[in-house]
Amino acid sequence: MAGDTTVVPNVEAGAVTREYTDAEMFALIDLVNDGSIEVSKLAQTKATNAEVKAFARKVVTEHTALNKETAAMAAKMNLTLTIPENDEDIAENHVDGLKDLTDKPKGKEFDEGYIEHEIKIHKKIIDEVKDALERTNQNTETQTFLQKALTSFQAHLQAAEEIEKKFGV
């Protein structure tokens, strides 16, 4: 189990397809959870639109729950979460996004930036998880967990896109 590999193509220009281990795939999910929680906590204090604030609260709650499930599943599978080498774009997106949002003034500009950030990061992790789910070399537990994570990420993306459309954010 600990040696199971999840194949996820890296679609960056000129990049070679890479195989993520389960530990690396779970680490990417964990990283997105942590990043969304941190940015959404900031949004709870800086957003001014009530729907954006409600979305931020929901993201914190649901990503915190998914984080606990990720840790429990990793422990059950005896995995040590490891960020894939040479694939720090999710981490960089979070750091850059957090800095950008921290620097934005409270109000509409922040609301727009936060929603754009959440759309971007959720699209990225959805692509990674979908690619992982297309592979047949995973155990049932990994498949089930990835499907649950995907459902959560898709719901957040849909909610963020609806806010973006509704409020022009």
Tell me the pTM: 0.83
Confidence at residue 123, expressed as pLDDT on a 0 to 100 scale = 94
Domains, in order of start, for the chain:
19-167 (1.20.1260.10)
Q: At what angle do helices 22-46 and 89-103 cross, to 10 degrees?
A: 10
Structure-token pair, residue 88: 């720090």
Structure-token pair, residue 157: 């993306």
The answer on pLDDT for 16 being more than 50 is no
Please tell me what DSSP assigns to residue 8.
Answer: E
pLDDT category, 102, cuts 50, 70, 90?
confident
Tell me the pLDDT tens digit for each residue of 23-73: 888 999 999 999 999 999 999 999 999 999 999 999 999 999 999 999 999
State whether residue 65 is helix, strand or coil. Answer: helix
Estimate the share of the chain in helix, then strand, then coil, as percent rounded to the nearest 5.
70, 5, 25
CB count within 10 Å of CB 101 equals: 20
pLDDT category, 139, cuts 50, 70, 90?
confident
Confidence at residue 87, expressed as pLDDT on a 0 to 100 scale = 60
Structure-token pair, residue 77: 């599978």
